[in-house]
Structure 1
Amino acid sequence: MSAKDEFAKNNLPLMGGVLAAVGASLCCVGPFVLLTLGISGAWIGNLTLLEPYRPVFIVIVMLLFGWAGWQVYRPIEDCTPGTACAAPQRRKPRQAMFWIMASIALVLVTSTYWIPLIV
């Protein structure tokens, strides 16, 4: 497996989780960010059309981050030799990236609760 394929395989759950979190928060964070930037208009109300799909996005976020956590924290013995998983010096940065992305996803997914407190 090439380094590019390994990178894509190892980072797919993290990237997918963050994208799903963006989808889950688009109905709330999107209008908030646009209004903060001074962009307004009646069309901003159309962003709430994604609200019924919010639970689906949240489940996808949880599944993808569960998968990513399993990949990052699984025992070294279960890893294929020569991969990023098997190299102890590469595990710490991957674990740090996992927690950074999980924190971003948590902020986005919980946006419906903290944005009204700011506005």
Structure 2
Amino acid sequence: MPDATNADTNWSLWTALAAALGASACCTIPLAMVSLGIGGAWISGLTALAPYRWIFVTIAVGALAYAGYNEWRLSRRPDCDCETVFSSSTRRALLGIGALAVLALIASPWLLGGSPSAATQQAQAAIKGSQKGGPSGALEAPASFRQVALEVEGMTCAACPETVKTALEDVDGVYSVRATYKPPEAVVRFDPTRASVEDLTEATANVGFPSSKSSS
């Protein structure tokens, strides 16, 4: 078996980080871009990576495991006066930080998405509140405002509704948004004199989530 080297640990850790970024590209990165006001149809290219997320996760976990194994092999070698880029303690600290970064990126869709069940309850409350004419957890919209439910395509994780919600909130005339992963929909209150359903569906499509007015 070849001897373990610092280079082995370095390349495997960088591979894990790159794969973890790929795993988060379909969900976390679009949310970050939209939150910063950066949008466009190009984001749909990132959300299209969702079906391949498991491949990136597998590569990231495998590379991270190899980096840990390689570091374990290095720790079993006798001390020497060899010249290395990092000391063993520094190398292990970097490995630990890198491991946390990889795991955080992999788990970010769930960390950023919050509780799907809570979001669903809020959306249902918004609908019922509107139907009954009572409060729905937010300030009552003026009577001229309209409410519409959109069926959203392409949502694959708990972070996706946050991206959809942020994109819809950026539309001029939108009063409030409740987006859920299960069911995949968004309930939007908006001023029909300033925005249309077409504006709303265009906003979700621009961030990679085509939508249409719900038939129910």
TM-score normalised to structure 2 length: 0.45
Q: Which is strand-richer, 1 or 2?
A: 2
Residue in 2 that maps onto 1:94: 91
Distance 1:40 1:104 in 2: 25
Distance 2:63 2:78 in 1: 19
Percent identity over paired residues: 33
Distance 1:38 1:55 in 2: 28
Residues 41 and 77 (structure 1 numbering): CA distance in 2 closer, same or farther, change over 3 Å? closer
Residue in 1 that maps onto 2:34: 35
Residues 60 and 80 (structure 1 numbering): CA distance in 2 closer, same or farther, change over 3 Å? farther
Q: Structure 2: which amino acid aligns with 1:65?
A: L
Q: Per-residue displacement from partner, 1:49-84 (whole Å, max 9, x unpaired)?
A: 111111111111111011100111226444795365
Structure with higher Rg: it is 2
SS in 2 for 1:110: helix
Distance 1:56 1:50 in 2: 10
Residue in 2 that maps onto 1:48: 47
CA drift of 1:109 comes to 0.5
> Are 2:8 and 2:70, in contact at CA under 8 Å, matched by a contact in 1?
no
Distance 2:104 2:87 in 1: 26
Greater relative contact order (Cα < 8 A, sep 6+): 1
Distance 1:15 1:75 in 2: 18
Distance 1:58 1:68 in 2: 15
Q: Work out the number of aligned pairs and report it.
A: 110
Would you say 1:23 and 2:22 are equivalent positions?
yes
Q: Structure 2: which amino acid aligns with 1:98?
A: L
Gaps of 5+ in 2: 115-158, 163-216
Residues 75 and 40 (structure 1 numbering): CA distance in 2 closer, same or farther, change over 3 Å? closer
> Are 2:8 and 2:67, in contact at CA under 8 Å, matched by a contact in 1?
no
Distance 1:36 1:70 in 2: 38
CA drift of 1:36 comes to 2.0
Distance 1:55 1:11 in 2: 23
Equivalent residues in 2 for 1:1-119 (5 A)?
8-74=7-73, 76-78=75-77, 82=82, 84=84, 90-117=87-114, 119=162
Q: Structure 1: which amino acid aligns with 2:53?
A: R
> Are 1:73 and 1:95, in contact at CA under 8 Å, matched by a contact in 2?
no
TM-score normalised to structure 1 length: 0.78
Q: Which is helix-richer, 1 or 2?
A: 1
Distance 2:8 2:51 in 1: 30
